[in-house]
Structure 1
Amino acid sequence: MDPTMPPLDMSAYQPESMKAWLYSSTANGLEKNLHLDMCARAPPAPQGNEVLVRVLSAALNPVDYKFPEVGLPARMVIGMPATPGMDFCGRIVATGPHAKHFKEGQLVFGCPARPTQFGSLAEYIRIPADKIALVPDGVAVDHAAGVAVAGQTAYQSLEGRVKAGEKIAKQMGCHVTTTCSTRNMELCFRLGADEVIDYTAEPDLVAKLVQRKVVFDCILDHVGLPSALYYQGHHFLKEDGAFVQIGMSGLMTLTGRIGWPSFLGGGRRKYVVVMAKYNQRQLVQLGEWLAKGAIQVQLDSVYEFRDAGKAFEKLRSGRARGKIVVHVSDPDEQSMESLGIGL
C-alpha cells in the first residue's frame, strides 16, 4: 500500500456484477431451472444496519427449494430472477452506516430471515448485521457455513422445553433418544445420542415407543412420519410435554395433526410447529460451541460452484448424512487486495 495515498473508504465498495446461480421458474424442480450467470446483477449497496459479504461457502437446506416451489406466493415474496440459498460463510466487504459492530475484512457466518432474491449461491450477499456473527478462531469456513439454519432451528426447538442432543440437545443437558436407519446408527452415537432406535429393524416404531410408557419430555419430529407418532404420543410423552414439528412430509401432515380433534382420535399433547426466527444471540452461542468442540457440523459432501445443480440433486434425494456445502469463492481470492480494496 502506498503510504502517500489516502485510505480507501471500504464501506463504499460496491460491485456492479457477480457470478450467481439464478432461477426464474421452479417447474419440475428448482434445480432443473438453475443456470449460472457470470455477470449477474449484484445486490444493491448495504443500507442502514446491513453489510455486504463476499461468500466463501454456502450450505443447502430443504427450505432452499421447498419455499420457492410453493408457487406464485413465493415468487411474489422473493422476486425473480432469484438466487437460492440461505446459509453462508464469507468476508465483509462493505457496511451500511449503522452496522457499527462489524467492519470490512471480518469473516462472518449467518443466514437471512427467509429465502430472498439475492441468496447465498452467489458471489455476494447483502444481509442485516443482526443476522450474522463473527467466525471464532479455529472454526473451518465450511463448518461455519452449515450451522445457521439447522443449528438455530434445533436450538429454538429445544429452548424453554427441556429442564436440564444431536449435540445441541446434549449441550443443553438432555438425554437423547433418536431414530435412524441401520447405516446411520454409528453416526448418531458419535454425534452424541444416548440411545438410537433402528427404525428399519422395528416393524412398528410407534408400538415400541408405547411399550416404554410415559418417559419423554419433548419429541422433535423432522419428517412427519409415521403419522401415528403424534396421535399415539400421549402413551410416551409426558402430559406437560410438547410434540415439536420441525419438518414434515407434506401439508396434509400439518393440517391433520392440527385439525383432528383428540376426542376423535387426534393427538392429546401440545403440538408446536417451529418456524425458526434467526437471531444473533443464538448464532454467537453456536459459534462458541463449535470453537469448543461442544457441537460439530457433519459434512455429507462438498461441491464446487460449477456443480451447484448436483448439490441440489443430492439434497432432494434425502440421502445426505450431514450438510451439503458449495464452495462459492476460492479462499485465495478473498483477500482485500484481490478485491481491489485498500490498495
Structure 2
Amino acid sequence: MKAITYHQFGNTDVLQTVEESLPTIQANQVLIKVKAVSINPLDWKIRKGEMKLMSGSKFPKHTGVDFAGIIEETGASVTRFQKGDEVFGVVKNTMKEGALTEYIAVPATTIWQKPSHITYAQAASIAVVGAAAITAIQKMGNINAQSNILVNGATGGVGMFLLQLLTPRAASITAVTSTHAMDFAKKWGANIVVDYTKQHVLQQKNNYDIIIDLSGKMGYANARKIMKPQSLFLNPVPKPIEIPASLIKNVFTGKKHVVILSNPSSKNMDMLLNAINTGLQIEVNKTFPFAQYKEAYLYAEKGGYTGKVVIEFNEASTHNS
C-alpha cells in the first residue's frame, strides 16, 4: 500500500511516497481503508521539527492526524463496529503515527460513525479542530450575553466549529478574518466582523473578556492591550516554551494566558456529532487527490483559506499486501 513518509525534518520537499505492507490489527483495533485525510497545522509543525521534544527525532515519520474511511476488518474484541462501516477518527499517537496512507490500523476507541449526510472529506475535517473548539469553550468558563469574545483568525478549521458552537450561548462575538471570509463569519454566528486587511483590531477601542488567537499571529503580549483587567487569552497554537511560561505568568496577573491542549474524546465527539446532526456546517475549502499531497500541503501552509483542506484517495489507488 502507498503511504507518505519523511526521513528528516523540513519543508514539503522531504515528503515522499513509499510502499508499505498492509498493517495487521490487534484485538482492539480496526483496519480502515482511508478515503480522506484533513490537513492540520500540527502536521507541518511536527515535520519542520518544531515539536521534536514531543515527537522525537526517530525516522521515518508518517504524517496526518484525522481521517475518514471504511472499515475493512475488525479485531476480535471490537463490538461497536463491523466491516463496511463508514467512520472518521484520529491516529492514537499524533506525534508518532500518520493517517496519510491507504490503509490504517487504529484502536476502535479513536473512531466514530460518520454521519450519512456528510462527505468523507467533511468527516475527515471533524476530529482535531472540533475537539479544539470544544476545549476552548470549556476553558472560557461561564460565558453569557454580557461576555465579549474576540476570535482572531475566525474562519479556519477551529474557527468554523467555534463560531457555530458559541452561537447558542448568546455572547457578543467579534470575528477577525479576511475580506473573502466575512460572509462565512457572519453565517457561522459572529455579531461583529473585522476585516484585518482594512482594520487593525488592536487599534479599536473595544476591550474583551476573552480573546482566542486561532491564527497564532496576535500573541499574548499584543492581546493584553485590548483585554479587560480580569480576562482570558486562549492560545490553541502554543510554542512549546509557552506552556510552562504561561502558568508562571498567570500567578501575577488578572489577564490570564491559557494554553489549549486538546485530544478528541468520545465525550466531545458526541457533542460534535449532535451539533453536526442538527445543522452545524463543515466547510471544505479545497480537496486534492492523493498524488498531489505536496501541492495540498503547500496550499494549506500558505493559509488564508476558509474551513479545511483535505487530501482524498481515489479508487485507482492500489496496494501491495
TM over 0.5, yes or no?
yes
Mapping for residues 242-321 of structure 1, pairs under 5 Å: 242-248=232-238, 268-293=254-279, 295-321=280-306
Unaligned segments of structure 1, at least 5 residues:
1-17
1:134 — aligned with what?
113
User: Deviation string for 1:53-107 (max 9, x for gaps)?
Assistant: 1111110001011023226545537x53232101101011122232221112111
What is the CA RMSD across the aligned residues, in angstroms? 3.0
SS class of match (1:103): coil
- What is the percentage of aligned positions where both structures have the same residue? 24
CA distance in 2 between counterparts of 1:19 and 1:201 reads 45
Deviation at 1:167, TM superposition (A): 1.0
1:40 — aligned with what?
20
Unaligned segments of structure 2, at least 5 residues:
145-161
Worse overlay, 223-232 or 253-262? 253-262
Worse overlay, 226-235 or 153-162? 226-235
SS class of match (1:176): strand
Match of 1:186 among 183, 186, 189: 183
Equivalent pair of 2:246/2:259 in contact (CA under 8 Å):
no
User: Deviation string for 1:290-334 (max 9, x for gaps)?
Assistant: 2322x211111100010001001011112222211111243x989
- Residue 198 of structure 2 corresponds to residue 206 of structure 1: no
Match of 2:70 among 67, 91, 94: 91
SS class of match (2:60): coil
Mapping for residues 70-85 of structure 1, pairs under 5 Å: 70=49, 73=53, 76=56, 79-85=58-64
Aligned length: 301
- Residue 215 of structure 2 corresponds to residue 223 of structure 1: yes
Distance 1:75 1:167, change over 3 A: closer
CA distance in 1 between counterparts of 2:245 and 2:225 reads 14
2:98 — aligned with what?
119
CA distance in 2 between counterparts of 1:300 and 1:258 reads 36
Distance 1:308 1:83, change over 3 A: same
Letter in structure 2 aligned against 1:212: N
Worse overlay, 159-168 or 320-329? 159-168
Letter in structure 2 aligned against 1:93: E
CA distance in 1 between counterparts of 2:216 and 2:3 reads 34
SS class of match (1:183): helix
SS class of match (1:41): coil
Equivalent pair of 1:118/1:125 in contact (CA under 8 Å):
no
Deviation at 1:260, TM superposition (A): 5.4
Worse overlay, 62-71 or 88-97? 62-71
Which has more radius of gyration?
1
- Residue 160 of structure 2 corresponds to residue 175 of structure 1: no
TM score, norm. by length of structure 1? 0.77
Worse overlay, 104-113 or 83-92? 104-113
